[in-house]
Every structure is written in C-alpha cells, then in structure tokens.
Amino acid sequence: MNTATTEIFIQILIVDDEENILRSLKRLLTNEEFEVLTAISGEEALKILSVNPDIALIVSDQRMPGLSGVEFLEQAKSLAPDATRIILTGYADVNAAIDGINMGGAYRYITKPWNDEELLRIVNEAVLKFVLIKDNQRLTSIVKKQNEELKEWNSRLEATVQEQTLEIRKQNEELRGLNESLGNNFKNTILAFSGLIELRDERAASHSRNVAELSIKIAKQLGLSGDEIQTVSAASLLHDIGKIGIPDILLTKDPDEMKPEETAVYSQHPVRGQTAIDSIEALREVGTIIRHHHECFNGGGFPDKLTGESIPIGARIISIADFIDRTIRKLGGDKAVELTLKKVKEELGKRFDGRLYPLIETPARDLYDRILQQTGLIEMELNPKDLRSGMILSKDVISGTGILILRKGMKLHEKNIDALRRSYQLDPSASGIFVMIEK
Ligand SMILES: [Fe+2]
Ligand SMILES: [Fe+2]
C-alpha cells in the first residue's frame, strides 16, 4: 500500500485463540510497511493495546474463550480509539458479524476461511483509513496551533497598535498644546509691541486695537482666508510700530500741521516699521502691509506711491480704518463719527479703495458708539468759570488770536484752570472750552 503521505509507523494486532491462524495471518500481513503483533486472547490483546495505543488495525476472531471478539473490541475502543477494527467470523455467524460492527465498532467483517487476496485488500483499506484519520488529526492540530499563534500575534499586534496610537495621540496633544502656547505667545508679543507704541504716544491709546477691530471686520466681509485675516490683524496692531523711532515732538503733532522737514521724518515710519520686524520671518507679509499703510488709492501716498490694487489689500483696509480712528479722536464730540465718515466718503477713489466703504460704515458706528457708552462720558462746551478739576479737554484750547493754550486730552487741575481763565480774559476765543464729563 501507499503510505507516502504519512510517516506513521504501522502496527497491526491480530487476536485469535488458534495459534495456527495467528501464524498464517502474521505471515500473510508482515511486510516492510507493517509490524504484526499477536495475542491468543482478548485479555492479552488489551494488555498489548495498553502499551501500544497507536496500533493502526485490530483483526480479532469472534469465537474465543474468555472475552469474545465483540466484547474485546468494545473495550479496545477506549484504549485505541483511532484503530480500525475488523472481526473474523465463521460463515454461519452473521449475528456475531453484525454485533461486531454495531457494538465493537468494527469497520468490516471477514469470514473464515478467508481469501488471502481479499483479506490483504481489506487490511490495506483499513490501514489507509487509519492513516487518513491520523493525517487529519495531525493537520487539524497544526491548523489549531497556527490559529492560536495567529490569535496571539493578532492580540499582541493589536496591543502594540493601541499602545502606539495612544503614544501618537499623546504626542499630538502635546504638540497641539505647544502650538497653541506658541501661537498665544506670538499674539501676546504682537499685542505687547502694539502696547509699546501706545505708551509712547498717549494720544494713540487703543488706536492700534481699534484699527485692528475695524480691519478684521472688513477682512472677514471680503471673505479673506483665516491666515490672511490673522496677517491683517497683526499688521493693524503693529502698523505704527515705526513711530517708536520718531522724536517725541513729532508724535504730538497732527501730520497735516507738520513742516516739510517734519513730514519727511514722519513719512519714514511705515518703512521703519517694516524694517523693525523684517528679521521675524513669520511677519514678512505683515511687514509688507505695514510699509504700504499710507499709500493712497490714486498714487498720492507714501512711501512707494503705489496705486489701486497694486497696494496690498491688507494695507488698503488698514489705511481706511487708521484714518477713521485718528480723525474721530481729532474731532471728538457727538458728531465725530458722522463727520469722519463724510470725510472718508469724499476720499473714496482718491485716498481710499471705494469698495471698502460699505464694509466699514456699520462696524465704525458700532465701535465708537460702544466706546462712548463704555467711557460713560459726553462732551460739553463750557464757560471757563464752570471748569472743574478732573475734567478732560476734548479739543485743543486755542486763544482768540490762534495761540494753542492747552492740548486736547489734558486733565484739568486748579493751576491750569487758573491759567486758562486768565488767557480767556486777555485773548478770548469765540467758542467755549470743550471737555468730557460723565453722563
Ligand atoms: Fe501710520
Ligand atoms: Fe495709525
């Protein structure tokens, strides 16, 4: 027979109480593939099975003293469950053959006397059956083992992936936190710089922040991207940073009232501003906007006399917001917003980009209404005799002959009130003195 598919060592057990039958069967079956064991009783055969549980085939006589063939096979099942069983019976003993199959779990029965050729064929088939069962068991156990290994690898892999995912998530969170704090640090630095400019120039208190608020509102309505809006915001806060290098005396003057040589120095502040932040790579674009925030739409501005859309949009936005905030401060009073917006309208297409006006009108009214409400102050025109300590001048005080007596923004106290009253007696102005008082 062909056992090439397996390397199982084949043992056959023959059980018969007649020695000559044992001998002749042993002779018939012994070859290079099979080892034949013999027993002269069921009892002896059970002993052999108990030490050789891997026997492939049991061939047992039915009629034996002691255990019958069926009884022996029944007990043999528990000792060698995979062995194929064949029962030998006499011609007349059909019932024993049936019992052998039903109770003894026999695979076949063979009648005595047997035909050698047929017996060999049956034995070969029976051994093949055993070999297939063993092969199947072996393969099943390999598959089971591999499945278990696979399961273990999978769970180990899953654990590793989970561990790595957790690690990555943790790193991402740390990175996000770092980025956030970097971003906040950056924003705070810009705010601190813009605060420096305002410290330098008292009249510019909150100027940069107001310009930023208006500019962001225009940028959003124009549909600029988040990054572009950030850039406009930073440029608004820093637009006058170049004024830090300008002499104090110039900062207190209105640009419209400067002498030509003073205007020349003042006009340098956009370029100085750009230069100041040029070393910070993340602020390069901001620098470009700062450089051009005094350009005019018709080319009449400075420093590069750019025209129309060649002026960066951020610079065009800041230009109009800057003008509005400066003019409202300069004019002061209830009508300041309306008068300023009127001036802006007159400059559309000349100084300013005309399409920005509809976008800034409402935000400007909202911002300055809110500021006025927050301060809780209103402007009053008073006679010098009604002035009190603590009041703040909302307009410059100019004598009847045009001499500047006190600057707008000055806080009144007894001494300067006395001085004011004296000058009003000597050189009276046509108007009263404008001050901010609580509502
Ligand atoms: Fe400026
Ligand atoms: Fe400004």
37 C-alpha to ligand 2 centroid (Å) = 113
Do 117 and 25 meet the contact criterion of CB atoms below 8 Å apart? no
291 C-alpha to ligand 1 centroid (Å) = 9
Partners of 59 in the β-ladder: 14, 86
206 C-alpha to ligand 2 centroid (Å) = 10
294 C-alpha to ligand 1 centroid (Å) = 6
Look at residue 243 in the predicted model and tell me its pLDDT: 87
What's the mean pLDDT in 341-348? 96
Helix (H, G, I), strand (E, B) or coil at 107: coil
Pick from 141-145, 194-198, 429-433: least confident? 194-198
The residue to which tokens 């009144």 are assigned: 412
Residue 1 — pLDDT band, cuts 50, 70, 90?
A: very low
Long-range contacts of 275-278 (CB under 8 A, 24+ apart): 275/242, 276/241, 276/242, 276/244, 277/238, 277/241
Pick from 3-7, 102-106, 245-249, 327-331: least confident? 3-7
412 C-alpha to ligand 2 centroid (Å) = 27
pLDDT in tens, 214-245: 999 999 999 999 999 999 999 999 999 888 87
312 C-alpha to ligand 1 centroid (Å) = 15
> Could you say which ligand is closest to the alpha carbon of residue 321?
2
Ordered structural domains, the chain, with CATH:
10-138 (3.40.50.2300), 201-374 (1.10.3210.10), 376-439 (3.90.105.10)
270 C-alpha to ligand 1 centroid (Å) = 6
Look at residue 202 in the predicted model and tell me its pLDDT: 58
SS3 of 374-426: the string is HHCEEEEEECHHHCCCCCEECCCEECCCCCEEECCCCECCHHHHHHHHHHHHH
239 C-alpha to ligand 1 centroid (Å) = 6
Start-to-end CA distance of the chain, whole Å, equals 118
| 377/225: higher pLDDT | 225
Look at residue 2 in the predicted model and tell me its pLDDT: 44
The contacts of residue 272 (CB under 8 Å, 6+ apart) are 241, 242, 243, 244, 245, 246
Look at residue 4 in the predicted model and tell me its pLDDT: 42
404 C-alpha to ligand 2 centroid (Å) = 24
> Could you say which ligand is closest to the alpha carbon of residue 207?
2
What's the mean pLDDT in 245-274? 86
Residue 394 — pLDDT band, cuts 50, 70, 90?
A: confident
> Could you say which ligand is closest to the alpha carbon of residue 194?
2
* Residues, CB within 5 angstroms of ligand 1 (ion): 240
Pick from 125-129, 212-216, 286-290: least confident? 125-129
**E strand or H helix at 165, and its extent?**
helix 116-200
Q: Measured between alpha carbons, how far is residue 10 from residues 1, 123, 138, 139 in Å?
A: 11, 12, 16, 19
Residue 5 — pLDDT band, cuts 50, 70, 90?
A: very low
Helix (H, G, I), strand (E, B) or coil at 43: helix
Do 300 and 350 meet the contact criterion of CB atoms below 8 Å apart? yes
Residue type, 108: R
Residue type, 271: V
239 C-alpha to ligand 2 centroid (Å) = 6
Residue 253 — pLDDT band, cuts 50, 70, 90?
A: confident
224 C-alpha to ligand 1 centroid (Å) = 23
In 10 A of CB 13, how many CB atoms? 23
What's the mean pLDDT in 180-208? 74
- Which one, of 182, 183, 210, 214, lies nearest residue 198 by Cα? 210
Look at residue 415 in the predicted model and tell me its pLDDT: 84
In 10 A of CB 320, how many CB atoms? 24
Distance separating alpha carbons of residues 213 and 139, to the nearest angstrom: 78
Q: Write down the pTM of the prediction.
A: 0.53
